[in-house]
Chain A
Amino acid sequence: MMVGMPLEPQGGVDEARLIARSLKQDHEAFGQLVDRYATVTINLAYRMVGNRTDAEDLAQETFIAAFKALPTFRADAKFSTWLYRIAANKCKDWLRAKRPEQLDVEVDTVADEQVVEARTPERILSQQQVADHLDRAIQRLPPLYREAFILKHVEGLSYEEMEEILGVNGDTLKMRVYKGRVQLSRELAEFNDSRPPVAR
């Protein structure tokens, strides 16, 4: 499993120093924190909103909001988890503004169908094709399922960390992840079906 944002990147002590300096309005120190977490923050935003420009804007807004809110950051918390929470909220705000009808709705009917397909998943497809299709399929997930699926399976977080980030209990998160998985599995199977058979 690929792990997303490192939980204690490059040593907690070093990070604690950077945070302490940032609290004293040291922009150079905060720039080091931005460098450290830019990739994971942009990728989370990218998977949530589906385009790079908006993802970069949201990631920048995440860091600005983090800098402003640093005095509220608890020293016993993980900076990465805290940053994820801000980023996730920024993405949800963005989605709410763009597509208000989609957010905050648990779409129970979306993925409850059984996944039944004739072809096996072992079919050979190019990695890029599958990745592109999966990326698009993730964008079609309802935002709450998308958020849970991305944190769990793209960023590689545990349910405990997700509970802390999203403020939602573990059983609910498991249900959202489950529904996301099932819908993606069905879409990927349909994609495989639409492809001509490949000789093996």
Chain B
Amino acid sequence: MDDQDLLIQRFLDQDLAPEERVRFLETVDADPRLRRQWLNLEMVLSEAGRLPKIAPSSQFTAGVLAKLDKMPKGFFDRMAELFTVPRTLEWNLTGALATACVALVAVWALVQVRPERIVEVPVAATPAQTVSLSSGQETKVYVRLVLLQPEARSVSVAGGFNGWNPAQTKLERSEGGMWTATIALKPGRYQYMFVIDGKQWIADPLAEEGAGDGFGAQNAVLDVAI
């Protein structure tokens, strides 16, 4: 590259200062050969800037995305997709029946295998709610005793199940003046009384059944069954 080449290239790259550009234009004006050389280069640049652009095919972007969809995914991406991508469940009667059978067998197996179970037995309209617990040979039923006594400072229960000893089974106060206790009893029939503040004995006002205590008063009766 001689000095004149360098001058032309610097002019084309707009590297010349304004006064250098003026001198360059004066030089090419005085030198036809240099002017021709410069104009040929200018023509190349002008035509290069006007070369026609080709447009992407209509399927170009879809093609890129289709390839992306086929790309193998990383472990974490696959796990995220496993839990987040919505799926459509397709089924037929055979499959549904097979699934139902499997579910039934699974439930039966759970029932058989579980060593102990709790069955809640609600007792309608009675203060004593029972829950039975089967453990080995001995079956016990949990009974929930309830008494509404907002004014009481303590409430306990005495009955056939605790030797009529009110100190043995105390009820706990909960919100609204409700007193409750849950005790485990073998199935059977029990008489009982609530003891208010350690001195006032009353029968369970909501007991379904009562029995005479031989002194003219009534005990509440609780039937415990599984």
Q: Which residues of A contact B (CB under 8 A)?
A: 1-2, 25, 27, 30-31, 34-35, 38-39, 42-43, 46-47, 52, 55-56, 59-60, 63-64, 67-68, 112, 114-117, 120-122, 127, 130-131, 134-135, 138, 149, 153-154, 156, 159, 174, 177-178, 181-182, 184-185, 188-189
Contacts and interface: CB of A to CB of B under 8 A. Distances in A.
B54 A42 contact: yes
A119 to B, nearest CB: 9
Contact of B50 (A2, A55, A56, A120): A2
A59 B50 contact: no
26 contacts: A1-B49, A2-B49, A31-B64, A34-B65, A39-B56, A42-B56, A56-B60, A60-B60, A64-B64, A114-B37, A115-B37, A116-B36, A121-B42, A131-B47, A131-B52, A134-B48, A134-B51, A153-B44, A153-B49, A154-B51, A177-B13, A181-B9, A181-B45, A185-B37, A188-B40, A189-B40
A68 B54 CA distance: 26
B68 to A, nearest CB: 6
Interface string B41-81: 11111011111111111001101110111010000010000
Interface of B: 1, 5, 9, 12-13, 33, 36-37, 39-45, 47-57, 60-61, 63-65, 67-69, 71, 77
Given A43-B54, A134-B47, A116 B33 contact: yes
A142 B77 CA distance: 43
